[in-house]
Amino acid sequence: MPNFYHPYSDAFLADPWPVFRRMRDEAPAYFVEDLNTWALSRFEDVWQAGQDKKHYTANHGTTLDALVGGWTTPAAFVFMDPPEHTLYRGLVAPLYQKGSVDALEQKLRAVTRKLLAPALQAGELEIYQLATAVGLHTIADFIGVDYADLAHARRLLDIFFRREPGIQGTTPQGNQALGELQAFIMQLVHGFRVKAPAKNTHADAWLNAMINGKQMTDEQIFFTMFSLTVTGSDTLALACAGTIFNLSQHPEQFAAVRADHSLVPHAFAETVRYDQPTNILGRRVVQDLELHGETLRAGQNVVWLFASANRDEREFPDADQYQISRRPRRNLSFGTGLHACLGIHLARLEGKIILEELLAAIPEYEVQTPRCTRVYGEFLQGYNHVPITFRPQ
């Protein structure tokens, strides 16, 4: 078995693309012995695995830390198989349906313009912060909490996801932040139970749900809020910041988008393919299966390398090139199968609006490339600091 990949390796995380290519070519089913975990790197394998309910389960976790750390996963829909997954996800799913999301367009534009206004006078804007704020406003409304409360929860999440060289997975500071986050959200949940939340919010649905004769526990609500806060703000912000950065590295494509804003959704989509924010998700194997001459055995873990799969030349011609003209017939940017991203329509609309409003308000600006930074980790990756400067208005 080859030995050139480890999901917690600092060197790998700093520059994963050459390793991903080698995995796809030489070891598409790669075994990480010390983690008892298989890694699938090719597009077709990940695509099929996401739809495979026979061989894999989400009941033991979907992140690498949960799978290899032996977490006792709570009954939140992200850690469930059908039929429970369908029932719990269904509590909040109506707000994320395309028709419901499309009705939010004018409200989202108003929020984005309000958040843009102070920066227009200052002549400098940080893209990641702008997109984070837009996403948090939306998710706060969906959940039924104050924006300030969710913004505080997000700051703790940033500490939790921050990675440091030489430390495998979560740092001590990250574990402390997670404890503070859990205590804070539990206070919010207690507040829901004391004072009934607004109707047609997630909190209202969670408190009044009765599934299989049981109400949702505080712990279930905590982990569901945790997941929605991450997916509703962090991945969106990484995608928006990445779009501005990558366009700045390709002047002809940037000029095309500035001249024709109908290309904005395609630039956003290409960024999420080219620099996928969600690096890894996984499952536990429940029934042996053969893949590329290897046997994945029941009880072992498997991770799906979305970032690698979206750079697979077998699916995407010139996969390592950033091309906003690309119109793929399928991609893994929002997952696939029953655990495909709940917020796919919301993320696409938010990304479109943030980038359109930015280009409309500031048609000429300069990306401060030397100041741009990336966050990396076994779960999330991408540009988390992309400042731009322009003539103050």
More reliable by pLDDT, 101 or 80: 101
pLDDT of amino acid 1: 61
CA distance 382 to 376: 7
Percentage with pLDDT > 70 across the chain: 99
CA distance 223 to 157: 12
Q: Where are the domains of the chain?
A: 10-140+231-389
More reliable by pLDDT, 127 or 331: 127
More reliable by pLDDT, 349 or 3: 349
Residue pLDDT, tens place only, 115-149: 999 999 999 999 999 999 999 999 999 999 999 99
Q: CA dist 116 to 109, 131, 187, 267, Å?
A: 10, 10, 32, 21
What is the CATH number that goes with domain 10-140+231-389? Answer: 1.10.630.10
The answer to whether 136 and 225 have CB atoms below 8 angstroms apart is no
Q: What is the pTM of this model?
A: 0.94
pLDDT of amino acid 155: 93
How does residue 232 score in pLDDT terms, banded at 50, 70 and 90? confident
Residue pLDDT, tens place only, 59-80: 998 989 889 987 777 778 888 8
How does residue 378 score in pLDDT terms, banded at 50, 70 and 90? confident
- Hey, what are 348's tokens? 């696409």
- Hey, what are 232's tokens? 């509703």
